[in-house]
Structure 1
């Protein structure tokens, strides 16, 4: 772990910020790095990247990739010796995405009576529901639920478990999540209990794990990860789905849509919808054969 917790902040135009973010995604040594990209000042066209490295090596790697893009300005801020993640989450507003309402303990009294409430404790896992990728997945799922049901749902790279929990709370008989990060799996299972949702989460390195395969083929697969693993997993996700099943993919920038879409079209998928939130994209694809 890093001796000192830091936040790395980069500013630039949209094109510059997206190019820098793509460089972070392309570095295999930074596959698990946590960062966000969003528009900070619409009038001035300023975009911002926030990265939260967890080790000195990760911090050095992020700074090195950003330094290759002189169009963005980079600064590193030392975070106070406190639970900065919990503190930052306590200031986040709840999120409404279709029928879903994602909130933390501090917003318990704000849940609308008609919403599907998802109470999420992030801990050390990604996926509070505030990130544009998670919101895009929930919006895509909400739209699909208006015309079809999904008995068996798999969430690849589950993080906090928010997507599988959303499925379990909207009628899915089987909702399974998997992650390569053991603490995320623990947090996801705790969130399932917190939400009284019949979702289970397993620590697995891939979709061929016995604990993942035993409930397949699935009607729907969520994969909110990063563009490179989305491409690499295209065949495995196809095999995890029944014919006619749906994949909701996110974790990719709009500029990475073509690459990810091409990988799935070549495997017999049909693109049904794109959803954009900030610089991020969510793709809805259906397995046709």
Structure 2
């Protein structure tokens, strides 16, 4: 990795903050900093204007950062976007301070430097937040962790498929909570590598982690998880639905996208169940 990093700063209306965060994650950001009215600002940083948020994505490759900049400008023409180069040392500790541990049901999920604060009785997942999405502190991940905890409590030994696994957090959680066969897939090689590292660090070596297409994954699964963007969920609906034996949990969906995502899966014969939400984010639960 180079001695500098690139920061892509996006200033835009606060209601679009979650969407641009998702875009930057998908575009390969190493980490994100979000400045809005919901969280305290770090000392010395510039606050957003009234009604706006500042979202900063960190990258270590200029080409990746410039591609992300183009995507943001196309998707959010009203945003003010700037790309700058900074010494890597300046942001590393600040970035760590932005990663928070979470306690969801029986699960504690957090970074290695916060393990000492994990509750004694919790099932611990140590996730190294590097270049993939899913450290537990994002609402969509937390919503899915709650679903995994609830399902595994009632279905010990269930088989689980995690589509778009990112850091592998959901697959690892399922395994630690007593799942049988667990398969995790992602089309991003960096995510696959990181998920495999986290799998080893958490003592769950028998999870099948790979970059396989869904059509190459054998069998159906009691619980299928897909925490990815709404348009991808709709696009992959026939492939994802075909893998569901009992329960399907979808996340990465904003409230205004819910109806379209639900319709895509109901058309394929799945029955809608009560889901959950956190802020603008919704979790969609369905049953075969």
Q: Quickly name the TM-score band, shorter chain normalised.
A: 0.7 to 0.9
RMSD, aligned α-carbons:
3.2
Supply the distance in 1 between the matched residues of 2:90 and 2:33 (Cα, whole angstroms). Answer: 22
Which of 117-126 and 7-16 deviates more? 7-16
The equivalent of 1:240 in structure 2 is: 243
CA separation of 1:162 and 1:21: change in aligned 2, threshold 3 A: closer
If the length of structure 2 is used for normalisation, what is the TM-score?
Answer: 0.81
Q: 2:258 & 2:55 partners in 1: Cα distance?
A: 19
Aligned residue among 39, 55, 59 for 2:65: 59
Q: How many residue pairs are counted as aligned between the two chains?
A: 276
What's 2:258 paired with?
A: 257
Partner of 1:93: 100
Where does 1:1-289 land on structure 2 (aligned, <5 Å)? Answer: 5-17=5-17, 24=23, 32-34=27-29, 40-42=36-38, 45-53=51-59, 55-67=61-73, 69=76, 71-82=78-89, 84=91, 88-89=95-96, 92-149=99-156, 151-209=158-216, 212-213=217-218, 216-242=219-245, 245-287=246-288
SS at match of 2:213: coil
User: Taking structure 1 as the reference length, what is the TM-score of the superposition?
Assistant: 0.80
Give the 3-state SS of the residue equivalent to 2:207 in structure 1. Answer: strand
Q: 1:124 to 1:65 in 2, by over 3 A?
A: closer
Contact 2:250–2:285 (CA under 8 A) maintained in structure 1: yes
Post-superposition offset of 1:166: 0.3
- Conserved? CA contact 2:28–2:132, under 8 Å: no
| 5+ long unaligned stretches in structure 1 | none
- Deviation sequence 1:150-192 (CA, Å, 0-9, x none): 5100111111111111000111011111122223222222222
Contact 2:28 2:131 in 1 (8 A): no
What is the CA distance between 1:9 and its match in structure 2? 2.7
Contact 2:152 2:179 in 1 (8 A): no
